[in-house]
Structures are given as C-alpha cells and as structure tokens.
Amino acid sequence: MEREKLQQNIKHLSQRIEKAAKKSGRSREDIALIAVSKNIDVQTAAIAADLGIKDFGENRVQELKVKADALPGVRWHMIGRLQTNKVKDVVGRTVLIHSLDRWRLAEALNKRAAFAGIEVPALLQVNIAGEEQKAGLDPADVKSFLESVGQLENLRIYGLMTIAPYTEVPEETRPVFRQLWELRETLRIRDYANVELRYLSMGMSNDFEIAIEEGANLVRVGTALFK
Ligand SMILES: *Cc1c(COP(=O)(O)O)cnc(C)c1O
C-alpha cells in the first residue's frame, strides 16, 4: 500500500475518532486506535508504524508471531480466537489479549505467564448479542469469572471486549455497545482481585463512531485504514 494513501487514511480516521470522542465529552487522547493488520503485509505495517501507529491487532497467532517479531517497536494485541495450545506464542509478545472467552484459556494463560515470570493482561470477550457463531462469555457469566480470577496470580483483567453483529445500519449496534458499558459499570463498583475494568474494546470500521459515543476507549479498525 502506498505511503501517501495510508497517511491520508490515518489522518481521516483520527479526525473521525476525535469527532466521536467530542460527542461523548472526551478527547482524542482518551481513545486508542488499534490498527488491525490481519491480511496486511509486514511492509505496510512498518509504514503505518513509521506514520505513528503505535498499536496493532492480529487475530491469528501465526501472523501475530511473524509480524510482532519483525516489528518489535510497536505494541501488539491479540484480538482473535485463541487456542490453549497456542498461548506460548502469544504470552510475552502482546500487550493485551482482547479475546479471553473461557476459564480453561484463563488457566492456560496464567500457567504460561507464571512459567515466563510475567503477568498477562487480558480483556474478557463478552457475547452481548448472543450470536451463536461468535465467541465470548455470556454476560450473565462475567461476574463469577471475575470473582475467580484472583486465583490466577499471573493474570490481570483490564476490561471487556465485544464484537457487534454486522449490520448495514451502524446505528443498530448502539444497544450492544451500551450493554457492554452498563455491564462494566455494574461490575466496576466491586473490588475483585486482579481486576481493574479500565478498558472497553468495542467498535470496528463499520461502527467505531457509535462505539466511542457509547464509551469505547479501544477501537479495533482494519478496513477503514488499510483499504
Ligand atoms: C478483523 C477484526 C477487526 C477489524 O475489522 P474491520 O471491519 O476491518 O475494521 C476488529 N476486531 C476483530 C476481532 C477482528 O477480527
């Protein structure tokens, strides 16, 4: 991808993020853009990094490994479904795992982090819309998950993540984002060990403005950047 085009896309996207942030009484700096570089080659990711992109997201472990090792100077996020036998490739390479969606995975991450002598930061992925084909905890199960996380000494939960159903009309995603925000507000008043619910990771190319208006502070955008 051409540098000029990418530069333009970044600028335009940043302006859209700023506008949505202002609408919700926040500033551009309150919202971190995670550039989703899946299907993008390392060279293009390197140009994006050179243009100031600090955070990148990948949904496949193999691609994450290759790119994170090629570009160690930026922050890598794991945003896709993660198998327990692949945690060793992700722990230590990522600043945040957005897709923690089951207890067995939490245990596997914790074990690997303990082995590496580090803490692993993660978000709980919640299936707000209850879509069968999508990963994520049932909203009703999040509380008991958080109550148990203290047992896993090397795991830290820093917030919640969701993926809204795709729709031609982005406005229709608003209730999904609002529900994740409300869930976070309800859980935030409790003091769970190893939990600090500071991040809401929600919003993609199609719906990030709505997500920001509803309180997102991490948005995961691919197509709108790299198209
Ligand atoms: C691909 C992907 C994105 C980015 O999607 P775009 O529509 O290209 O912006 C965000 N989050 C997850 C989990 C993804 O897999």
Pair type for strands 32-36 and 155-161:
unpaired
| Gap between the Cα atoms of 57 and 78, Å rounded | 6
Residue type, 179: Q
Ligand 1 close to Cβ of residue 35 (< 6 A): no
What is the Cα 87 distance to its own chain's centre?
17
Distance between CA atoms of residues 67 and 205, nearest Å: 22
The CB of 223 under 6 Å from ligand 1? The reply is yes
SS3 content of the chain, % helix, strand, coil (to 5): 45, 20, 35
Nearest CA to ligand 1 atom 7: 205
The tokens for 71 are 């570009």
Per the document, the length of the chain is: 227
Q: Where are the domains of the chain?
A: 3-226
The whole-angstrom separation of Cα 189 and Cα 57 is: 30
Please report the pLDDT score of residue 1 as a whole number: 80
- Ligand 1 centre to CA of 6 (Å) is 17
Backbone angles phi, psi at 122, to 5 degrees: -145, 160
Quote the CA–CA distance of 74 and 84 in Å, as a whole number.
25
CATH entry, 3-226, from 3.30.1330.10, 1.25.40.420, 3.90.190.20, 3.20.20.10? 3.20.20.10
What is the model's pTM?
0.97
Atom 12 in ligand 1: which residue has the minimum CA distance?
79
Pocket test for ligand 1, best of 10, 17, 36 (most atoms within 8 A of CB): 36
How far apart, in whole angstroms, are the C-alpha atoms of residue 190 and residue 124?
16
Report the separation in Å between the CA atom of 139 and the middle of ligand 1, taken as the mean of its atom positions.
Answer: 21
Q: C-alpha 158: how far from its chain's center? A: 11
Contacts of 167 (CB under 8 A, 6+ apart): 173, 206, 207
Alpha-carbon distance of 200 to 106, in angstroms, equals 19
Amino acid at 26: R
One digit per residue, the tens of pLDDT, for the chain of length 227 reads 899 999 999 999 999 999 999 999 999 999 999 999 999 999 999 999 999 999 999 999 999 999 999 999 999 999 999 999 999 999 999 999 999 999 999 999 999 999 999 999 999 999 999 998 889 999 999 999 999 999 999 999 999 999 999 999 999 999 999 999 999 999 999 999 999 999 999 999 999 999 999 999 999 999 999 99
